[in-house]
Structure 1
């Protein structure tokens, strides 16, 4: 199948997040960000990760122009609107240059894997793609992921924020409900961190399949299941923690139904929320019977931890 590669170049690395925000607000989650600052960050943490060398091909990335890359298939839902979305990016971010390349699926099917490398997301959690080698250090828990067509590699702020809060609040033997679980990364993290039972809900049938495959990869099928569903509709499950990495509007829509799925004093963790909307979303969560415990911010995004009153 043919696809179109859209490369959005920015004048400054600082503008990349603004480009990503416009794309996400238009329901585009699977862009590839090429940020030269990541290479310097990698080098600064060399001692922390005890590396002996860095591949030259990685060092070359520091000299590349900052960019966000999209791949749009000919049968994609956004095919007809992508030009308007790109125009919105140009109107939002100054100095953007866009290059469009036509290509064939055979060239693409493994190309995106070049950009997904092992990454330490929290104090304990490391996310590793299945095709990469990684030797876990003492105290590290490694999540094996092949995201396929599902959202969730752990590197985006929305996911990493959620992972940090899950790691902070989960206790051995807890149960967790993951609403909108995508690749299953949050559910798997909970399982590795000691949860006794985890249920993931996902509205995309393809993501349900991918989520269960990733659960199996991590040898957690005995305590994690991913099922098809629309938020919590028709779900009869009570957990110690409910996690929802969605978008602000969906978090607000979900929040009133969360108490019915939480055990007494349970924790509700929500992410995928622009920091400028934190107050608005927090108000809805509080109205739903929760006390805000903390709001964690990274870049333009935030995650909210709340306790049931």
Structure 2
């Protein structure tokens, strides 16, 4: 399907006014780029909000404030576009009359095809060995096992969820391979996302895997991936919060989150582990390794080992029984 991509260059005050115009027209799906939003984002209100910012995110600091929305390339879409242009001209007249500064208010309209942007990200997701044994492949790619010992996870993560190829995922799977000892082990995957670690544990032979996730959309994605891999009988994915009334004991807890969340949740992890259970955590930048390891120890764990890859690390710890 063809669309008109409509982009308006303005300033922060103009973004507010134009957003109001679009909402009054019934257009709720639009994107704004504003360097002021980046400043708010970088001014962390909570220590656990983010641990790592990709350099591409910082590029918005040099972007002129703008707003983008799409309308169908059709007669009805053209009517919407003309209505918006009329409102924009009225806005310019009011601004001139009242001495308001809304920036340059320059409009850019170009034709795009949804196939040009909707699925472009898929071109970069190919079958990948995340460990020697485990391969992650997208649903739209063919893959033939190189040997009979390979375990293949097939996923369609959606644009908002991980593909499983990040170093933190690889490190967690390597530790799962090492510390899963029996099919009777119960594995709890905290913040399971698209379900990669839950499915890896199941393919490694665990018969009972619980994936908990606070994002209901991620729960749906993970459940679909579990079903796609025919692992429904082994994996249960549910919406929940480890800190709020989760009644479950596991032999292994795996949490691929971020450093501050790992530290925040470690005490609750201890409550959900059996005996001398194993706690595998990642999403931790190497520069925070010592800080996280210290916090884990304070929650009653012994550090067994720390794996590193690129800028990231994963920590395996054992619960100390009193």
TM-score normalised per structure 2: 0.66
Per-residue CA deviations over 1:118-140 (Å, capped at 9, x if unaligned) read: 00111210001111001112210
Contact kept? 1:150, 1:206, Cα under 8 Å: no
Within the candidate set 179, 191, 203, 2:190 is matched to 179
Give the match for residue 228 of structure 1: 239
Q: Secondary structure at the match of 1:194?
A: coil
Per-residue CA deviations over 1:2-42 (Å, capped at 9, x if unaligned) read: 989xxxxxxxxxxxxxxxxxxxxxxxxxxxxxxxxxxxxxx
- Measured after TM superposition, the shift of residue 152 of structure 1 is 2.4
Within the candidate set 144, 164, 176, 1:135 is matched to 144
- Measured after TM superposition, the shift of residue 83 of structure 1 is 8.4
Per-residue CA deviations over 1:270-290 (Å, capped at 9, x if unaligned) read: 000010101100111001110
What does 1:150-165 align with in structure 2 at a 5 Å threshold? 150-165=160-175
Once structures 1 and 2 are overlaid, which stretch shifts more, 215-224 or 81-90? Answer: 81-90
- Measured after TM superposition, the shift of residue 231 of structure 1 is 3.3
Corresponding position: 1:192 with 2:148: no
Give the match for residue 280 of structure 2: 269
Per-residue CA deviations over 1:229-280 (Å, capped at 9, x if unaligned) read: 1234221111110000001110011001111111111100000001010110
Distance in 2 between residues matched to 1:117 and 1:154, nearest whole Å: 11
Q: What is the number of equivalent residue pairs in this alignment?
A: 239
Q: 1:151 to 1:90 in 2, by over 3 A?
A: closer
TM-score normalised per structure 1: 0.69
Q: 1:75 to 1:202 in 2, by over 3 A?
A: farther
Distance in 2 between residues matched to 1:91 and 1:107, nearest whole Å: 22
- Measured after TM superposition, the shift of residue 295 of structure 1 is 0.6
In structure 1, the gaps of 5 or more residues are 5-72
What does 1:1-309 align with in structure 2 at a 5 Å threshold? 74-75=30-31, 81=37, 89=55, 105-136=114-145, 137-173=147-183, 174-309=185-320
Q: 1:236 to 1:107 in 2, by over 3 A?
A: same
Contact kept? 2:304, 2:318, Cα under 8 Å: yes
Pairwise CA RMSD of aligned residues? 3.4
Q: Secondary structure at the match of 1:81?
A: helix
Q: Whose Rg is larger?
A: 2
Give the match for residue 74 of structure 2: none
The ranges of structure 1 where at least 4 consecutive aligned residues each deviate by more than 4 angstroms after the TM superposition are 1-4, 75-80, 82-88, 90-93, 102-106
- Measured after TM superposition, the shift of residue 150 of structure 1 is 4.4
Contact kept? 1:158, 1:301, Cα under 8 Å: yes
In structure 2, the gaps of 5 or more residues are 7-28, 43-52, 69-111
- Measured after TM superposition, the shift of residue 143 of structure 1 is 0.5
Distance in 1 between residues matched to 2:5 and 2:294, nearest whole Å: 42
- Measured after TM superposition, the shift of residue 304 of structure 1 is 0.3
Per-residue CA deviations over 1:206-225 (Å, capped at 9, x if unaligned) read: 11000000000110101101
